[in-house]
Amino acid sequence: MIPIQELLNRIRWDDTFAEGDFLIGYYDRVSGEIIQLPLQQVQLTPGNHFFFQYIGPDGAIREVPLHRIREVYKNGELIWHRGA
């Protein structure tokens, strides 16, 4: 399994691979569930290997550590996952 940073970089820089719809599933410690977000809603800061940001339903900016990403889907197909 490749590190999540490598996969996210490939999505960002490989135009051919990046074609499609991506979902990122991360483990939410509060709810105890996997939360899925469309990649378009995720803000990845270049050079930051620690977390991503997104705006929650309440309008608050959330920061999620990359180590909490558990799964990545491309066009509905699981292409990457990390065990619990």
Report the length, in residues, of the chain: 84
**Per residue in 40-58, pLDDT tens?**
999 988 777 899 999 988 9
**Per residue in 61-71, pLDDT tens?**
999 999 999 99
Both tokens of 37, joined, read 């977000």
From the list 60, 74, 63, the residue with the least C-alpha distance to 24 is 74
The CATH class of the 4-81 domain is: mainly beta
- Residue 84: pLDDT band with limits 50, 70, 90: low
All structural domains of the chain with their residue ranges: 4-81
Task: Tell me the H-state helices in 1-84.
Answer: 4-13
Task: Judge residue 26's burial from the number of C-beta atoms within 10 Å of its C-beta, 0-12 exposed, 13-18 middle, 19 or more buried.
Answer: buried
- Average pLDDT across the chain, whole number: 92
Q: List, in sequence order, every residue forming a beta bridge with 37; answer none if it has no partner.
A: 24
